[in-house]
Amino acid sequence: MFVTFEGLDGSGTTTQAELLRQHLEEAGRDVVLTREPGGTELGERIRELVLGGPEISPWAEAALFAAARAELVAEVIQPALERGADVVCDRYLDSSLAYQGIARGLGVDRVLALNVNAIRGILPDVTFLLLVDPEEAQRRSGPPGDRIEREGDEFLREVDKAYRELGSAFAGRITMLDASASADEVAKEVRDRLPGLS
């Protein structure tokens, strides 16, 4: 099973990915938890470049995220799925579709086309989209830590809208959850919606 978590910074993707990993491990499953951008040596270096560096052009940004993702799929995700492990990933393809495709205006289809070879056609079985008001997300995530978080309120609202559009467009794969509840309550929702668990 390949599960991803998506949402604004401050929506709780990292917490929920970790809680799901714990739950799956307690159920005796082999689990690999990873994150984007990052999760590999190259990915962590790209993370520094894309989030820590100066302003870069939108397609360079999209291509760097896709490169980090290609490495993560080749080195971590595909091998884990092939040996029968579960993979839980904090952000994946939909982050690029929301942030670069819609909020940056590059186009969902074009960003999808950029990524499709990079991910070797490996799509998540289930994607949990954690929805919180942008203001609440900002409050939770505290002062902006990276270049994308410093984009400001309007960009944040664009990303929120973008995620909701993706949630409707890919309703079969993406499960939208109200993430304004406590972490434990959201985690329970996640477990309830995963077939064969809970």
* Least distance in angstroms from the C-beta of 182 to ligand TYD: 20
**Are 178 and 129 spatial neighbours (Cβ–Cβ below 8 Å)?**
no
Q: Which residue in the shown chain puts its C-beta closest to ligand TYD? A: 99
When binding is defined by CB under 6 A, the residue of 40, 95, 127, 138 that contacts ligand TYD is 95
Distance CA 166, CA 109 (A): 12
* Least distance in angstroms from the C-beta of 65 to ligand TYD: 4
Smaller CB separation from ligand TYD, 44 or 178: 44
Provide the H-helix boundaries in the chain: 13-26, 41-47, 58-72, 78-82, 93-95, 108-118, 134-141, 153-169, 183-192
When binding is defined by CB under 6 A, the residue of 11, 23, 72, 91 that contacts ligand TYD is 91
Q: Which stretch binds ligand TYD (CB under 6 A): 24-32, 76-84, 88-96, 166-174?
A: 88-96
145 is a contact residue toward ligand TYD (CB under 6 A): yes
Distance CA 93, CA 68 (A): 11
Judged on CB neighbours under 10 Å (0-12, 13-18, 19+), 130 is buried
* Least distance in angstroms from the C-beta of 100 to ligand TYD: 6
Contact flags string 10-29 toward ligand TYD, x per CB under 6 A: ----x---------------
Residues 6 or more apart in contact with residue 97 via CB below 8 angstroms: 108, 111, 112, 162, 166
Contact flags string 147-176 toward ligand TYD, x per CB under 6 A: -xx---------------------------
* Least distance in angstroms from the C-beta of 156 to ligand TYD: 9
Backbone φ and ψ for 92, nearest 5 degrees, come out as -160, -150
Instruction: Tell me: cis bond preceding 134? Omega within 30 of 0 counts.
Output: no
Smaller CB separation from ligand TYD, 27 or 116: 116
Reference 92, options 17, 31, 144; nearest CA is: 17
Q: Check residue 149 and report its DSSP letter.
A: G
Count of residues engaged in binding ligand TYD, rule: CB under 6 A = 15
Binding site for ligand TYD (CB under 6 A): 9, 14, 36-37, 51, 65, 91, 95-96, 99-100, 145-146, 148-149
